[in-house]
């Protein structure tokens, strides 16, 4: 790995969020001067590293972001701030686009003006849509939801603006990351957090459809190191890299492991067997990626088994306890296709 003094001021957006806060910890431990930004819409002050310089700021506030960037002049940015509610984005397309795409441009434009050297953009597997998995980075961008559109748009804007304005970038596409600090009170996303939070409430959770949707899950520690180190490798400029394990499992299998880790007594596992509901609209059935490129370029080696990672997450979640899910007062579009769990606030 190259030296960590390549950059003077590092900014992490989404620094109070799940992945952003772990990334800040990693960079602080590496001895870097780290600035963090978050509007706390999905993150928590309890996640913020006290050794970082943290500011509460909403990326939709263009003038505020411009002033902030003019002051700190980051030469490296890890962009993680996002409205990451993929399944909700059909019902809140404006919220998703303004937070994700417009918010990103509000950040990127003053950063370029102030001498940005490298952008590490956190994209998502959602850009692949319904193509045949395992997804490889050379596949076309074919998102199936508004969230995926915003991620694809950010990728394209980065590529184009980097070519014209001469900064380096690397795009990371993680998938289904889980672990301690994940927001488990958001009823619209984070399947693992939702399952565990419901069990902490002493109730059964819900599975959409037959539970045979196939996914692969990444433990947070396995994702953060390659993401962080991507900034320090010269040969990664312009690369797009999937980060996550290749082993896929169904949501039903995931549920079985969560129950087994949560309840030592098999009788309890039976009592809390999940309740099945109709499929969600536009949900991609099977989504998992190839990680050959991450292994080659980033020395990516996932180490944590699902059982072990879920055990760690459950131990953390028990410390926090049950948290009441936070629903939006109103979605931008209502529809009979809206999941019953949201309409009737069942999560
Ligand atoms: N967790 C996953 O499984 C996963 C998978 C693929 C991609 N990603 C991407 O990784 C990034 C981090 O995801 P996460 O799981 O840590 O989610 P998270 O919600 O915990 O973190 C995102 C943070 O962004 C903040 N934020 C949202 N809108 C903002 C705005 N307008 N201004 C400033 N801050 C704002 C939120 O408060 C939150 O703390 C996101 O870009 C997400 O799309 C996550």
Q: What is the mean pLDDT of the chain?
A: 95
Res 1: pLDDT: 43
Domains present along the chain, CATH in parentheses: 4-178+217-243 (3.40.50.720), 191-215+247-286+304-343 (3.90.25.10)
Q: How far is the CA of 48 from the centre of ligand 1 (A)?
A: 14
The span from the CA of 74 to the CA of 323, in Å, is 35
| Sign of the alpha-carbon dihedral angle for 287, 292, 295, 301 | positive
Q: Is 48 exposed, middle or buried (0-12, 13-18, 19+ CB in 10 A)?
A: buried
Q: How far is the CA of 154 from the centre of ligand 1 (A)?
A: 14
Q: How far is the CA of 268 from the centre of ligand 1 (A)?
A: 34
Contacts 24+ apart (CB under 8 A), 154-158: 154/79, 154/100, 154/101, 154/104, 154/121, 154/123, 155/121, 155/123, 155/127, 155/240, 157/101, 157/104, 157/105, 157/108, 158/108, 158/119, 158/121
Q: Which residues line ligand 1 (CB under 6 A)?
A: 14, 16-20, 38-43, 58-60, 80-84, 99, 103, 122, 124, 174-177, 183
Taking a C-beta distance cutoff of 8 angstroms, is the pair 293, 233 a contact? no
Nearest CA owner, ligand 1 atom 27 = 82
Instruction: Record the pTM.
Output: 0.96
Task: For residue range 42-69, list pLDDT tens digits in order.
Answer: 999 999 999 999 999 999 999 999 999 9
With a cut of 80, say whether residue 5 has pLDDT above it: no
Average pLDDT over residues 134-145: 96
For the chain, list the strands marked E by DSSP.
10-13, 34-38, 53-56, 76-79, 118-122, 168-174, 177-178, 206-208, 214-215, 218-219, 239-243, 249-250, 275-277, 286-287
Task: For residue range 86-97, list pLDDT tens digits in order.
Answer: 999 999 999 999
Nearest CA owner, ligand 1 atom 43 = 84
Taking a C-beta distance cutoff of 8 angstroms, is the pair 108, 157 a contact? yes
Q: How far is the CA of 69 from the centre of ligand 1 (A)?
A: 20
Res 83: pLDDT: 97
Res 282: pLDDT: 76
Counting ligand 1 atoms within 8 A of each CB, the residue from 66, 80, 158, 328 with the most, and so the one to mutate, is 80
Of the pLDDT bands very low, low, confident and very high (cuts 50, 70, 90), residue 32 is: very high
Res 4: pLDDT: 59
């Amino acid at each position: 790995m190259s030296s960590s003094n390549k950059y003077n001021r590092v900014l992490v957006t989404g620094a109070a969020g799940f992945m952003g806060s772990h990334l800040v910890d990693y960079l602080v431990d590496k001895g870097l001067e780290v600035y963090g930004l978050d509007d706390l819409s999905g993150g928590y002050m309890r996640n913020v590293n006290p050794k970082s310089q943290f500011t509460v700021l909403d990326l939709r506030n263009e003038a505020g972001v411009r002033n902030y960037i003019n002051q700190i002049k980051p030469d490296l940015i890890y962009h993680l701030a996002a409205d990451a509610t993929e399944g909700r984005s059909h019902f809140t397309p404006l919220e998703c686009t303004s937070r994700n795409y417009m918010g990103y441009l509000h950040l990127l434009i003053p950063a370029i003006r102030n001498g940005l050297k490298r952008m590490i953009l956190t994209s998502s597997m959602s850009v692949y849509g319904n193509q045949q998995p395992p997804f490889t980075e050379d596949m076309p961008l074919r998102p199936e939801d508004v969230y995926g559109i915003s991620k694809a748009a950010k990728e394209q804007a980065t590529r184009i603006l980097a070519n014209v304005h001469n900064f380096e970038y690397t795009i990371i596409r993680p998938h289904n990351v889980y672990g301690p600090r994940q927001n488990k009170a958001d009823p619209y996303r984070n399947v693992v957090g939702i399952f565990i939070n419901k069990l902490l409430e002493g109730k059964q959770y819900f599975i959409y459809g037959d539970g045979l949707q196939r996914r692969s899950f990444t433990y947070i520690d396995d994702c953060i190191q390659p993401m962080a180190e991507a900034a320090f490798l010269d040969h990664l400029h312009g690369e797009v890299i999937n980060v996550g394990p290749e082993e896929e499992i169904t949501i039903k299998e995931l549920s079985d492991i969560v129950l087994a880790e949560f309840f030592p007594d098999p009788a309890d596992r039976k009592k809390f067997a999940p309740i099945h509901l109709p499929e969600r609209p536009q949900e991609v059935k099977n989504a998992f990626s190839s990680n050959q490129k991450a292994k080659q370029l980033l020395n990516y080696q996932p180490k944590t088994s699902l059982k072990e990672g879920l055990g760690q997450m459950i131990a953390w979640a028990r410390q926090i306890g049950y948290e009441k899910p936070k629903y939006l007062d109103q979605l931008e579009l209502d529809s009979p296709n809206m999941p019953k769990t949201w309409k009737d606030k069942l999560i």
